[in-house]
Homo-oligomer: A and B are copies of this chain.
Amino acid sequence: MSQNDRRTRRRGEELINAIHAAVLEEVLEVGVGRLTMEGIGRRAATARTTLYRRWPDPIAVLLDALYHAHPVEEPTPGADDLRGDLIRSLQLMVKWTLSPAGRAVAAILTDPKGIEQVSDELVEQVFAQRGGTFTSTVLRHYAERGHFPASRITPVVADIGEALVVKRLLDGAPPTDADLADIVDQAILPAIGLADRLT
C-alpha cells in the first residue's frame, strides 16, 4: 500500500455498510443517472475493484443499499383521535421521505430510466408502501369503528394527504407540523365529511 496508508482495513459488514451509506449520499448529490462506480468508491474510500467483486453496476449497489435500509415505520392508530393519528401518520411519511433511503427512492421514481431498472421483487419490498399507506391505514381504522362511512375512502381521498405532502416536498419546503395539521383540517377531514373547521 503506497500512500494513504490507513492502519485499519474494513471488511465484511462494516465495509458494506460504508458502501451503502456512500451510495445513498452519492445518489442524492448526482442523481440516479450519474451514479458511477468511481463516485461510490471515492465516497466510500474503497477501490473500484472491491465494488466490482460484489455488484455489476452502480444501480445494483443502490438497490442493495435500499434493500438493507431500515423499513418504513407503520402508522399505528391509537385510542380515539382521528385527527391526531392522521397528523402523526403524515409525520411518519415526512420523516421517511427525508431520510437518505426515502430520498433515494424519490430519486429513482423521478428518474427517466429509474423504475425500469428495478426488479419486481424490490418494487414490492421497498416501493409498495409509498402509495396511500400512511393515511389510509388510519382512515380505515376509524371507518371500521363507525366514525365515518367507509365508502368515503375512495382512491382520491386516500391520496389527499400524501399528495399534498409530496407537493410541498417538490416545492422544496418540507412541511412543518403546522402544515400537516392544516392538510388534515382543510383537506382530509372535509373530504370524509368531518369538517370540524371553525370558519
In the complex, A29 Cα to B191 Cα: how many Å? 38
Chain B residues in 8 Å Cβ range of A109: 170
Chain B residues in 8 Å Cβ range of A166: 163, 166-167, 170
Quick one: closest B residue to A161, CB to CB?
B163
Cβ of A190 < 8 Å from any Cβ of B? Answer: yes
Cβ of A76 < 8 Å from any Cβ of B? Answer: no
Q: A190-B190, A191-B186 are in contact. Are A152 and B112 (CB under 8 A)?
A: no
Chain B residues in 8 Å Cβ range of A29: 112
In the complex, A23 Cα to B119 Cα: how many Å? 30
Cβ of A3 < 8 Å from any Cβ of B? Answer: no
Q: Which of B152, B154, B171, B190 lies in contact with A191, CB distance below 8 A?
A: B190
**Complex interface bits, A153-192 against B, C-beta within 8 A gives 1, otherwise 0:** 0111101101110110011100000010011001100110
Give A residues with C-beta under 8 Å from B: 28-34, 106-107, 109-113, 115, 131, 149, 151-152, 154-157, 159-160, 162-164, 166-167, 170-172, 179, 182-183, 186-187, 190-191, 193, 195, 199
A31-B32, A33-B34, A163-B166 given; name 10 further pairs at CB < 8 Å: A30-B112, A31-B31, A31-B33, A151-B199, A152-B199, A156-B164, A156-B179, A159-B164, A190-B193, A193-B195
